[in-house]
């Protein structure tokens, strides 16, 4: 499994990816999704395996990196670390920042490694199942993915559905892939090739965050001093090992579902840790179990989210959507055939994720103090620099200035979407699934001779439709239960 | 986390057209309607070549779905009004202005100059007054990025008054 990784080039890529991921994770507002999108053009200089190893190591380390700022300045470096703030910061305020970060590092590593094991065993099984899928089944699966995203993603499910539909709508811009008829191009030649993924991702994540930061300039961070990261004590291990394992399972499962994996997983992991705890009253006041529950779950979601990405070509999160784009750019088509034809490539990815989890443990343990200092770079210096990289990165893929303007447009749009409670993640997933949804729907209708009811005669497709209905009903039931 | 949480207040007393929920509803419905109308101008595939549905049908369905769901969130907002967001501060509008400047300068003068102007403009308006740091974000860093992209990716940036000095 590790054989393809025993090359100095790949190890350097892994080291760089892990370090870069940690820096991205530490900086509030940035994260593995934005970082992955920004680095995507550079991966063109690498071979496919090195490129995907770079992106996955950024994903693993970036997810963990968010915990450092969550503990030290009470601001999650990534949304997935939001639940870590609840107990990490109170514990740091008690003078135990090292202990809090030690637990975050250990539980993130265990969660991450657990999820890679799940990935190694579960992805090939899912890929084998996918051989049974035809166009109608893929259509139903994509619909299920989008409804799950709306249902268990952040915020209002209806707003998430609107955002997802908007993402699919963006994918229809340009020449229709079946008939070559222009749609929404309005005579602009550049739009006939459609809207690229990178300008939209960089706009919705990096540029909209820049605008958000412009509204928070008077914000003052109270940074807790950190002497050194401490490994958890034997008592801490005794107290948390069940929580870490439970959250690793929860995170891996949530990660497999197409949704904003890490964020949702950490919230569920945290609440389950509280439910099973002997000291639930300590949660929110600096509970070590709270940190373990949230951190094991969000890192466990990384491997989980890679399962549908590699086995079906359906991203399990926004960052895996970037990884999926990386795969496609490098001519690798995810899906069952990938498991049959390029097992070495896949084992390279699995091994890289495993090593990345070990590497961020080492870097986190010995370098957290240094990484925490990155947060001292003032926004008035940092964000203009990020803008310069965003602009050049976006321009570089197609060498089109229109792409840069599209990025700015989506930056402004993303800011207002977030301001009014619309998550931007469904837009990204909708955009990347758009062609699959429309293509499989239209091809299915050709197969069914235009009869929509024929979808119901396919058992797998019908199952996904029923699951989609359940996914849509779930938030309603949850709201009703909360009211009761 | 408290650092990023804005204080919000309910906006029950405002007339309906000033409320955020109406503004969002109006903007989505307005643009969806325009897009929906434009789908009727798409070319149609002759029946003999048509496989499945017409190219306009799928976007039409999506737009109708978006309008329907938007109507639902607006209806639900009568029962549960949204919280009013804090007024946007001056730096936000200056940042938007810098984007407009960027588009104008990159189109008319130079891509690199546009990045420099935006970086200095944003950094200055966000509170950086030290000349060295303004030069760092406005000239040194963009230059490093420019050369990096040019050398590593072999990227050719669009021509302009400054970029031409480098290329010729």
> What's the CA gap between B41 and A186, in Å, rounded?
10
CB-nearest partner of B137 from A220, A385, A404? A385
User: What tens digit of pLDDT does each residue of A130-150 get?
Assistant: 777 888 888 888 888 888 777
Residue owning tokens 């789908």: B39
Would you state the pLDDT for residue A415?
A: 93
Put simply, the answer to whether B1 touches A85 (Cβ < 8 Å) is: yes
Do residues A393 and A198 touch, judged by C-beta distance below 8 A? Answer: yes
Judged on CB neighbours under 10 Å (0-12, 13-18, 19+), A357 is buried
Least Cα distance to A401 among B123, B164, B139, B108 occurs for: B108
Put simply, the answer to whether A380 touches B49 (Cβ < 8 Å) is: no
Put simply, the answer to whether A405 touches B2 (Cβ < 8 Å) is: no
Global pTM reads: 0.85
Judged on CB neighbours under 10 Å (0-12, 13-18, 19+), B162 is middle
What distance separates the 2 farthest-apart alpha carbons in chain A?
69
Residues of A within 8 A of B22 (CB-CB) are none
Q: Given CB atoms, is B134 within the 8 Å cutoff of chain A?
A: no
Residues of A within 8 A of B106 (CB-CB) are 401, 404
Do residues B25 and B67 touch, judged by C-beta distance below 8 A? Answer: no
> What's the CA gap between B89 and A237, in Å, rounded?
47
> What's the CA gap between A220 and A218, in Å, rounded?
6
> DSSP for A267-298?
HHHHHHHHHH-S-GGGTTS--HHHHHHHHHHH
User: What tens digit of pLDDT does each residue of A193-212 get?
Assistant: 888 888 898 888 888 888 98
Residues of A within 8 A of B28 (CB-CB) are 162
Nearest C-alpha in B relative to A443: B52
> What's the CA gap between B105 and A244, in Å, rounded?
53
Put simply, the answer to whether A42 touches B55 (Cβ < 8 Å) is: no
Put simply, the answer to whether A408 touches B102 (Cβ < 8 Å) is: yes
- CA neighbours within 13 Å on the CB side: how many for A181? 19
> What's the CA gap between A139 and A156, in Å, rounded?
24
pLDDT at B10 over 70: no
Would you state the pLDDT for residue B6?
A: 47
pLDDT at A104 over 60: yes
Q: What's the whole-number average pLDDT of chain A?
A: 83
pLDDT at A345 over 80: yes
Residues of B within 8 A of A221 (CB-CB) are 3
User: What tens digit of pLDDT does each residue of B80-128 get?
Assistant: 888 777 888 898 999 999 999 999 998 888 888 999 999 999 999 988 8
> What's the CA gap between A389 and B146, in Å, rounded?
9
Q: How many CB atoms lie within 10 A of CB A428?
A: 30
Q: How many CB atoms lie within 10 A of CB A335?
A: 18
Domain boundaries, chain B: 2-84, 90-167
DSSP secondary structure letter of residue B84: E
Q: For residue A3, what pLDDT band results from cuts at 50, 70 and 90? A: low
Three-state SS for A373?
helix
Interhelix angle for B90-108 vs A401-419, to 10°? Answer: 170
Judged on CB neighbours under 10 Å (0-12, 13-18, 19+), A370 is exposed
CB-nearest partner of A383 from B122, B142, B149? B122
A125: Cβ–Cβ under 8 A, 6 or more apart, which residues?
none
Put simply, the answer to whether A162 touches B66 (Cβ < 8 Å) is: yes
ipTM above 0.85, yes or no: yes
CB-nearest partner of B95 from A28, A211, A446? A211
Q: Given CB atoms, is B46 within the 8 Å cutoff of chain A?
A: no
> What's the CA gap between A271 and A425, in Å, rounded?
23
pLDDT at B72 over 50: yes
Nearest C-alpha in A relative to B71: A158
B15: Cβ–Cβ under 8 A, 6 or more apart, which residues?
none
> What's the CA gap between A416 and A399, in Å, rounded?
28
User: What tens digit of pLDDT does each residue of A268-299 get?
Assistant: 888 888 888 888 888 888 888 888 898 899 89
> What is the average pLDDT across A81-104?
83
pLDDT at A376 over 60: yes
Nearest C-alpha in A relative to B64: A165
Do residues A112 and A424 touch, judged by C-beta distance below 8 A? Answer: no
Residues of A within 8 A of B138 (CB-CB) are 384
> What's the CA gap between A395 and B39, in Å, rounded?
30
Q: Where are the beta strands (DSSP E) in B74-119?
A: 83-84
Do residues A181 and A175 touch, judged by C-beta distance below 8 A? Answer: yes
Do residues A430 and A143 touch, judged by C-beta distance below 8 A? Answer: no
pLDDT at A222 over 70: no
CA A29 to chain B, closest CA, distance in angstroms equals 11
Residue owning tokens 């499994």: A1
Q: Given CB atoms, is B153 within the 8 Å cutoff of chain A?
A: yes
pLDDT at A73 over 80: no
Q: Given CB atoms, is B106 within the 8 Å cutoff of chain A?
A: yes
Nearest C-alpha in A relative to B52: A446
């Amino acid at each position: 499994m590790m054989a393809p990784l025993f090359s100095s080039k790949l190890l350097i890529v892994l080291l760089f990816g892990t370090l870069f991921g940690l820096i991205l994770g530490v900086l509030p507002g940035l994260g593995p999704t934005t970082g992955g999108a920004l680095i995507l053009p550079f991966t063109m200089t690498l071979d496919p395996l090195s490129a995907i190893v770079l992106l996955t190591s950024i994903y693993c380390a970036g997810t963990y990196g968010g915990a450092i700022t969550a503990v030290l300045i009470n601001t999650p470096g990534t949304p997935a670390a939001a639940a870590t703030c609840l107990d990490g910061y109170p514990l740091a305020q008690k003078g135990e920042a090292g202990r809090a970060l030690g637990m975050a590092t250990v539980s993130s590593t265990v969660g991450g490694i657990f999820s890679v094991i799940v990935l190694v065993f579960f992805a090939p099984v899912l890929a084998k199942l996918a051989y049974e899928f035809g166009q109608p089944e893929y259509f139903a699966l994509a619909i299920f993915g989008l409804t799950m995203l709306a249902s268990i993603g952040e915020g209002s499910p209806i707003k998430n559905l609107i955002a997802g539909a908007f993402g699919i709508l963006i994918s229809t811009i340009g020449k229709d892939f079946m008939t070559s008829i222009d749609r929404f191009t309005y005579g602009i030649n550049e739009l006939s090739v459609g809207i690229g993924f990178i300008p939209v991702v960089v706009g919705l994540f990096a540029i909209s965050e820049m605008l958000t930061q412009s509204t928070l300039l008077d914000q003052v961070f109270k940074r807790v001093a950190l002497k050194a990261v401490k490994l958890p004590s034997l008592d801490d291990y005794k107290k948390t090992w069940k929580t870490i394992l439970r959250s690793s399972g929860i995170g891996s499962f949530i990660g497999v579902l197409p949704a904003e994996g890490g964020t949702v997983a950490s919230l569920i992991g945290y609440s389950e840790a509280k439910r099973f705890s002997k000291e639930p009253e300590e949660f929110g006041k600096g509970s070590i179990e709270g940190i373990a529950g949230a951190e094991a779950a969000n890192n466990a979601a990384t491997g989980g989210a890679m399962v549908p990405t590699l086995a079906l070509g359906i991203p399990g999160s926004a960052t895996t959507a970037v990884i999926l784009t990386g795969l496609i750019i490098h001519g690798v088509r995810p899906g069952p055939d990938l498991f049959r034809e390029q097992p070495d490539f896949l084992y390279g990815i699995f091994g890289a994720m495993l090593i990345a989890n070990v590497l961020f443990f080492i870097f986190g343990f010995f370098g957290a103090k240094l990484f925490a200092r990155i947060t001292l770079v003032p926004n008035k210096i940092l964000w203009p620099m990020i803008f310069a990289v965003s602009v050049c990165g976006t321009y570089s893929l197609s060498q089109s200035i229109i792409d840069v303007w599209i990025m700015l447009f989506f930056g402004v749009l993303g800011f207002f979407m977030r301001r009014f409670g619309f998550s931007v993640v469904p837009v990204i997933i909708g955009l990347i699934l758009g062609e699959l949804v429309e293509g499989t729907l239209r091809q299915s209708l050709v197969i069914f001779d235009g009869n929509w009811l024929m979808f119901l005669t396919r058992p797998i497709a019908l199952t996904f439709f029923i699951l989609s209905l359940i996914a849509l009903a779930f938030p309603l039931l949850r709201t009703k239960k909360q009211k009761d | 986390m408290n650092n990023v949480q804005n204080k919000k207040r309910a906006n029950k007393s405002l007339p309906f057209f000033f409320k955020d929920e109406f503004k969002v509803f109006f903007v989505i419905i307005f643009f969806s309607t325009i897009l929906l109308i434009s789908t009727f101008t798409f070319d149609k595939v002759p029946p003999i070549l048509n496989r499945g549905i017409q190219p306009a049908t799928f976007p039409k369905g999506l737009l109708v779905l978006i309008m329907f769901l938007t109507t639902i969130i607006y209806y639900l907002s009568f029962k549960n009004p949204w919280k009013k967001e804090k007024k946007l501060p001056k730096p936000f509008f200056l940042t938007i202005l810098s984007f407009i400047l960027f588009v104008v300068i990159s189109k008319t003068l130079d891509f690199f100059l546009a990045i420099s102007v935006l970086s200095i403009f944003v950094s200055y308006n966000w509170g950086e007054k030290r000349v060295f740091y303004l030069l760092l974000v406005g000239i040194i860093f963009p230059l490093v990025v420019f050369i990096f992209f040019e050398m590593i990716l072999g990227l050719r940036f669009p021509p302009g008054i400054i970029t031409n000095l480098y290329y010729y």
